[in-house]
Amino acid sequence: MAGHFEATPGGGAAVALDEVEIAILRSLAVQLLELIGPGDEPTEGEDPLAALFAEGPSEPPADPAVARLFPDAYSNEDEELRAASSEFRRFTEIDLRDRKREDALAVVRSLDTLQPAGEESVVLTLDAEGSRHWLGSLNDLRLTIGTRLEVSDEDEGQGGSLYRLPDSDPRKPMVMAYLWLGALQETLVETLMPE
| Closest-CA residue to 123 (of 5, 28, 10) | 5
| Closest-CA residue to 65 (of 168, 145, 182, 133) | 145
**How high is the pLDDT of residue 46?**
63
> What is the torsional sign of CA 30, 33, 34, 39?
negative
| Closest-CA residue to 37 (of 15, 10, 70, 12) | 70
> Which pTM does this prediction carry?
0.85
Delimit the domains of the chain by residue range: 31-39+46-118
| Average model confidence (pLDDT) across the chain | 86
- What are the tens digits of pLDDT across the range 84-108? 888 888 888 889 999 999 999 999 9
CB burial class (10 A; 0-12, 13-18, 19+) of residue 148? middle
